[in-house]
Amino acid sequence: MATSSVEVSSDTTDRGLQLNQDLVNQLNELVQGGHADSECWSSSRPVLVEGLLWSILGAVLWMVTLYIVS
């Protein structure tokens, strides 16, 4: 296989820098903007409590079912 040298044009470099800056701006908006006050950043405690309660209910129902069947 033959290799050939590839030159990186300044347009490609400028485009890469522009994309990087755009990504930085979008990330800053996520952290600092109104998105930070939304549900996405709220505590996950209520979800964990609900999951725990459903798990306990499922375990109780399973034990009751085993008791009735046996």
Each residue's pLDDT expressed in tens, for the chain with a length of 70 residues = 566 665 656 777 888 889 889 999 888 887 776 666 666 666 788 889 999 999 999 999 999 999 999 9
DSSP state of 21: H
Q: Residues 18, 12: contact at Cβ < 8 Å?
A: no
Do the domain assignments include residue 2?
no
Would you state the structure tokens that stand for residue 3, as one six-digit string? Answer: 């290799």
What pLDDT is attached to residue 28? Answer: 83
Q: What is the dihedral of CA 56, 62, 65, 70, to 10 degrees?
A: -120
- Total domains in the chain come to 1
- Please tell me whether residue 55 adopts helix, strand or coil conformation: helix
Do the domain assignments include residue 4?
no
Do the domain assignments include residue 46?
yes
Do the domain assignments include residue 22?
yes
Do the domain assignments include residue 3?
no
Rounded Cα gap, residues 21 and 27, in angstroms: 10
Do the domain assignments include residue 41?
yes
Domain limits for position 65: 10-69
Do the domain assignments include residue 5?
no
Do the domain assignments include residue 58?
yes
DSSP state of 34: G
pTM: 0.43
What pLDDT is attached to residue 10? Answer: 73
